[in-house]
Amino acid sequence: MRFIVLNGHALYAAWLLVASSLNFTIWFKKKLRLNIEGSATTISLILLTIGILIYWILENFIYPSQMAYTWTPWLVWFIAFAGILFKHWKLLREKSFNQIFVLIITILCFILFSVKVILFAIRYTQQEIPTGNNPAGL
């Protein structure tokens, strides 16, 4: 039951981060009227990347046993970035800076997720993660 609840909240929080980033981009474009095309999107992508990196640090080093079974944020971010890449694939072929940046963030998410899986496997085999047989890990 804890797995479902924690992943449900994590899914919502991850999507909230993506949606807030999109809303921030829209607000930024309308209020500041920047002359540089795509600068609001670039700023929003940078903030989203910082949020993902902070989450990864919290998940793997600050609260590793509490967040060990939280997997859904990575699914949300993969789907969000895949949607951006697939919707604007022509811009990627034209070497648009923001599309290349989204591709880099997607690769970064894949690398961070892979490191999370490896750290999970190591911690699980060393019994540092709470399980049904060993709940004292909390």
Asked if 102 and 81 count as a contact pair (C-beta separation under 8 A), the reply is yes
pLDDT exceeds cutoff 60 at 138? no
Out of 69-73, 96-100, 129-133, pick the least confident: 129-133
Q: How many angstroms separate the CA atoms of 112 and 74, rounded?
A: 9
Q: How many angstroms separate the CA atoms of 33 and 12, rounded?
A: 31
Q: Which residues contact 97 (CB under 8 A, 6 or more apart)?
A: 38, 42
Output the pTM of the full model: 0.85
Residue % of the chain over a pLDDT of 90: 51
pLDDT tens column, 23-82: 988 888 888 776 666 788 899 999 999 999 999 999 999 998 888 889 999 999 999 999
The span from the first CA to the last CA of the chain, in angstroms, equals 16
Span 82-91, average pLDDT:
84
CA gyration radius, the chain: 17
pLDDT band with cut points at 50, 70 and 90 for residue 121? very high
Number of Cβ within a 10 Å radius of residue 130? 16
